[in-house]
Structure 1
Amino acid sequence: MNSTVETGAPAGASPSPEHATSPEHAIVTAGLTKRFRGGQVAVGDLHLAVPRGSVFGFLGPNGSGKTTTIRMLLGLVAPTAGSCAVLGEAMPAGLGRVLPRVGALVEGPAFYPYLSGEANLRRFDAADPGADPRTVRRRAAEALDRVGLAAAAGKRYRAYSLGMRQRLAIAAALMRPRDLLVLDEPTNGLDPQGTREVRTLIKEIAAGGTTVFVSSHLLAEVEQMCTHAAVMRAGRLVAQGPIADLRSGAAGPRLRVDTPDVAGAAEVLAEAGLGGVGTEDGQVTAELGDGVPERICAALVHAGVAVRGFVVVRPSLEDVFMGLTGEGFDVDA
């Protein structure tokens, strides 16, 4: 997207067909809605625009409608209302043309535990009617190498770590060239090492030109690997846009100074025109506003204030979400 922070539906009408087929967007939805029996709204009036070539984080707590949205995008669930386009094709009418260009990992990998990683990929590929069986060995080797599992190609799946299993699932999605990769909670249940492995892999895939759509409830994780994000809450879109623009929609950056001379530091920050000056436990904080950190630090030193630490704290995605909804959701779990 080129806008800053969008909340709810875009101003004006739904995205036009021209917008849907624009080379700028890999996914566009217009009023996409899914109601289940009893009138429960899983996804309501969703207007989403995913730029091509981006790593797009689809954020929200468990039960916010992320997986249901993905199922509608992939033609696994029919929407109650609204429309969506994937890679310029209206869905589900364009399923046959779109799905060969899309790799997906939805709700965790499922492989045969007693087969090797390579053997699992070959069986997976055999179920793809568009795959060429004559090239399966080469393509499996290339996919395993791409996700860093070449050395473990002959190892049984049951002996793989959680991180290796997630990487194998991504390899399965990359057995053919893909323009779009859809990953539903790819780091769910992983230890820190496995999380880093998958995060690095996603960045490498995106660097190769593939648009990556990542569903997650982990704000801190998305913040580290995504270029754009959308935030869902109770089936509704709260905000979307580039990560930097989402941050700018929250409260501005704050300055934090660690010093034994709290009173002196507070006086210097106030004289520099900074607002919201506060003190607590050897720290002085203030709203940075238009202040230049280098000049403020120099002013502190010039005034004889001992500076132990000097940090500009910028808003995180969690701050953005809290500012928009007044609530939080799992950041570390």
Structure 2
Amino acid sequence: MSAGLAVETDGLGKRFRGRDAVTDLALAVPAGSVFGFLGPNGSGKTTTIRMLLGLVSPTSGSARLLDAPMPDRAAAVLPRVGALVEGPGFAGYLSGAANLARLDSADPLADPRTRRRRIGEALDRVGLSAAAGKRVKAYSLGMKQRLGIANALLRPRDLLVLDEPTNGLDPQGTREVRTLVRGLADDGATVFVSSHLLAEIEQMCTHAAVMRAGRLVAQGTLDELRGPSADDRLHLSTPDPEAAIAALAGAGLEPSRAGAEVVAPLRGRAVEDLVPVLVAAGVRVRGVRMAETSLEERFVALTGEGFDVES
């Protein structure tokens, strides 16, 4: 395993009934990061998570979690991993606290002497202390989602794997989960967040990977994924538009008039390198700015599909 990675896959793939759900996946999740796993619904995100956790056997390739091969070392690795996959499942007739106690008692490594304290701390951390004694069948979807995260936090974890953690949450609940995820990373955990909500990935994550039709199409820091891009544009305000167009065309760009501005696709060129070209050509520069390709535009270009951008 490469140094500093909490999750790494090499050629990971899964085939169902003759159909490739995930193909040749090479993920590299830095330790301590909040890593967004982004893609449209049906792009292979949940299948990948199930393979990482040993819930589904891969058809090809390999995966390592916390420097150990999966699923071969699952018994040693999974106690260090908290997970919420495909929504939480709880006994509706039991309270939130009773559900957590039931699940914790099934964990052979959990200390029963500290169970009550740990359950209280987990419920408090996800904002469910007031509903601890309430039956889960009366919980909203967002409350159930937060209870699932609380279950993942019953013991200290080195890696948290959260599949659509803000699903069903109202704006306040979404903000609380976002703050919680950042806090977990600040405490030293790696948080792997699967989502189809671009806004959540942008506000929560330090790194991201983009899936399309079962294949990885990009990964890196958010800044690396944003650019620079050939679609970034120079916007120039000048009293000499014709001279500016001639100078930019001479520099290999394709400028045009756009209202009171001259606009040109940068094609990877730096704005600071073009201003001296304009000045040397006698163009009077009143103002210059760069319009960057948004993360949403970049992901749509990568996947060929739109993303939900509202939470």
TM-score band by shorter chain is 0.7 to 0.9
Check if 1:234 corresponds to 2:234: no
Kindly report structure 1 stretches of 4+ aligned residues shifted beyond 4 Å.
262-289
> How many angstroms apart in 1 are the aligned matches of 2:241 and 2:179?
42
Check if 1:49 corresponds to 2:28: yes
Say what the alpha-carbon RMSD is for the aligned residues. Answer: 3.1
Q: CA deviation at 1:237?
A: 1.0
Alignment of structure 1 residues 11-26 onto 2, 5 Å: 20=1, 22-26=2-6
User: Is the contact between residue 163 and residue 198 of structure 1 (CA under 8 Å) also seen in structure 2?
Assistant: no
> How many angstroms apart in 1 are the aligned matches of 2:126 and 2:246?
54
1:183 to 145, 157, 162: 162
User: Is the contact between residue 28 and residue 49 of structure 1 (CA under 8 Å) also seen in structure 2?
Assistant: yes
2:172 corresponds to: 193
Give the aligned length: 299
Q: CA deviation at 1:317?
A: 2.7
Q: CA deviation at 1:52?
A: 0.5
Stretches of structure 1 that go unaligned for 5 or more consecutive residues are: 1-19
User: Is the contact between residue 255 and residue 264 of structure 2 (CA under 8 Å) also seen in structure 1?
Assistant: yes
1:164 is paired with a residue of what secondary structure?
Answer: helix
| TM-score after normalising by structure 2 | 0.83
1:281–1:270 CA distance, 2 compared to 1 (3 A): closer
> How many angstroms apart in 2 are the aligned matches of 1:317 and 1:41?
28
1:29 is paired with a residue of what secondary structure?
Answer: strand
> How many angstroms apart in 1 are the aligned matches of 2:190 and 2:171?
24
Q: CA deviation at 1:263?
A: 7.7
Amino acid at match of 1:220: A
1:268–1:224 CA distance, 2 compared to 1 (3 A): farther
2:104 to 118, 125, 128: 125
> How many angstroms apart in 2 are the aligned matches of 1:278 and 1:157?
61
1:329 is paired with a residue of what secondary structure?
Answer: coil
User: Is the contact between residue 75 and residue 91 of structure 1 (CA under 8 Å) also seen in structure 2?
Assistant: yes
1:123 is paired with a residue of what secondary structure?
Answer: helix
Stretches of structure 2 that go unaligned for 5 or more consecutive residues are: none
2:295 corresponds to: 317
Q: CA deviation at 1:65?
A: 1.0
User: Is the contact between residue 255 and residue 285 of structure 1 (CA under 8 Å) also seen in structure 2?
Assistant: yes
| TM-score after normalising by structure 1 | 0.78
2:68 corresponds to: 89
1:190–1:284 CA distance, 2 compared to 1 (3 A): farther
2:199 corresponds to: 220
User: Is the contact between residue 58 and residue 232 of structure 1 (CA under 8 Å) also seen in structure 2?
Assistant: yes
1:255–1:158 CA distance, 2 compared to 1 (3 A): farther
2:104 is paired with a residue of what secondary structure?
Answer: helix
